[in-house]
Amino acid sequence: MTKNISRIIFFFMGLLILMGGFFWLMQKNKTNSIVRNEVASNSAADAGKEKPAVAEDKGKQDFFVAGWIPYWAKSEGVASLQGKMGLFSQLKLFAFSVSADGQLVDTAKSKIAPWPQLSSDAKKQNVKIIPTILWGDAVAMHKIFADPMLRSKHDDNIVTMLAQNDFAGVDIDYEGKDIADRDNFSLFLQTLHEKLQGKNLNCTVEARTQDSPPADLTGIRAMSFANDFSKLNEFCDSVTIMAYDQVFQIHRAKVFEDSSPEPSAPSADNAWVQENIEYALKFIAPEKLILGISTYGWEFSLQKITAGYRYTRVRSVSYPAAMALATSVGATPTRTTGGELSFVYQAADGQHLVTVDDVQSVSEKIALAKKFNLKGISIFKIDGLTDPKLFEILKTR
């Protein structure tokens, strides 16, 4: 009797399992049918539509806007950002320099006003703050880069400084390197990138439009060629090309000659800027490349020579100063073919030429960055002495 009851119980249990499996299978088929119908419906609705390319997806990323705040005009630069902080993705403080033995020097005194308040305000608006380390001592750089132990120690100094200040990354702006230090500088960037462990490494370098320097540029004068663009792309999270100070980057001299029949000493001619972009893109991914844009200009004295003019650098000049000078001497600035404002006036020692960037020239450089789908721009400098309309064009970036 007990055996019969057990058989009956097992029979009904098996029957229940079979029925459960049947209903599960029916439900699964029903669900799959719904999914298939939905996919078919979506496919029909999308028929004839072109699928977006990966490049188009990249183009939808926010256009990156950075600005350098110089320590020598920190109060004015920070004051000019009041109410405008949100226009920037990143602010770079010209904060540190480097001693002859590779030690960092807090030139900007980054822990005292106005920096702490700026950092606090930036965090509230999700604007990243990173320090720029500016170094221009070619002899000292050679000593540090050529010695693996000193190079490693310099790396460690940077990593420690970032940790102590809770910076999101660092901007390496080592200008005036000897071309002989090209490979060792790349090694420095490689080991620094490894030690940063995810913190952002931006590399700011001089502009150039060819692989090798002209025959008359050697050593330190060939500084633009001391940067291996392929290695920059490999080791730097972003690369900023200083596409300004054009005549100095070409001639590498305070005094130079040009055969143009009319006075012309561009700071950043649009055609030259585009040439620099196109060259850099041969080595550096567009999503890493940042276009450096200036907000100032230069004044030169002029001397007529047989073929053109001889130019001697007098001083750098801000937009407000250039406009005030033009008014005082009765000159009318005109737009150059390269997109900048320029005028000639009679000074006590002869003719002078002034060329300066304004909101229109900056806007045209931004358009070039967008044309080539670059990561963005970095403005040098935010010091309270830019064209007042500068911030207006950043609102529409």
Residues forming beta bridges with residue 249, ordered by sequence position: none
Is 355:336 a contact under the CB 8 Å cutoff? yes
Q: How far apart are CA 365 and CA 291, in angstroms?
A: 8
pLDDT at 6: 47
What is the SS3 assignment for 113? coil
Q: Is the pLDDT of residue 40 over 60?
A: no
pLDDT at 39: 33
Cα–Cα distance list, 326 to 316, 317, 322, 339 (Å): 15, 12, 6, 18
Helices (H) and strands (E) in the chain, counts: 13, 15
CATH architecture of the domain formed by 57-295+358-394: Alpha-Beta Barrel (3.20)
Ranking 32-46, 103-117, 331-345 by mean pLDDT, the lowest is 32-46
Q: How far apart are CA 122 and CA 147, in angstroms?
A: 38
Q: Is the pLDDT of residue 204 over 90?
A: yes
| Digit-coded pLDDT (tens) for 76-123 | 999 999 999 999 999 999 999 999 999 999 999 999 999 999 999 999
CA atoms within 13 A of residue 42's CA, in its CB half-sphere: 6
Instruction: Evaluate the CA torsion angle 27, 28, 29, 33 in order and state its sign.
Output: positive
pLDDT at 62: 85
| pTM, two decimal places | 0.84
Q: Which residues contact 353 (CB under 8 A, 6 or more apart)?
A: 263, 264, 265, 299, 300, 302, 311, 342, 343, 344
| Digit-coded pLDDT (tens) for 295-335 | 999 999 999 999 999 999 999 999 999 999 999 999 999 99
